[in-house]
Amino acid sequence: MADDLHGIFIDVDVSPEHASDPELARKLDDACPVDIFSASESGVTVVHENKDECVLCGLCLDASPEGAVTVTKLYDGTTL
């Protein structure tokens, strides 16, 4: 699948228990400079096509509760 070509270098994940929070969704949508988070009434989704655009700024982590968002550098296995 073509979708498998995205997120080769970086993976961004929102935990299921936080993904349905519309307020957190708006915060993440506002915080990320490269539009990795898309907010809707039902919560937040990760825009897979944009994941490799992540600049590792950490703003999504600052905007969310501990453990809600995980940013993984797939090339070395570490998380922010």
| Residue 25 contacts ligand SF4 per CB under 6 A | no
Contact pick of 5, 34, 42, 65 for ligand SF4 (by CB under 6 A):
34
- Per rule CB under 6 A, is residue 12 in the interface with ligand SF4? yes
DSSP 31-76: H-TT--EEEETTEEEE-GGGGGG-----HHHHTS-TTTEEEEETTT
Q: Which stretch binds ligand SF4 (CB under 6 A): 1-9, 18-26, 57-65?
A: 57-65
Question: Is 8 a residue that touches ligand SF4 (CB under 6 A)?
Answer: no
C-beta of 17 vs 35, nearer to ligand SF4: 35
- On the CB side of 21, CA atoms within 13 Å amount to 14
| Residue corresponding to tokens 């501990």 | 66
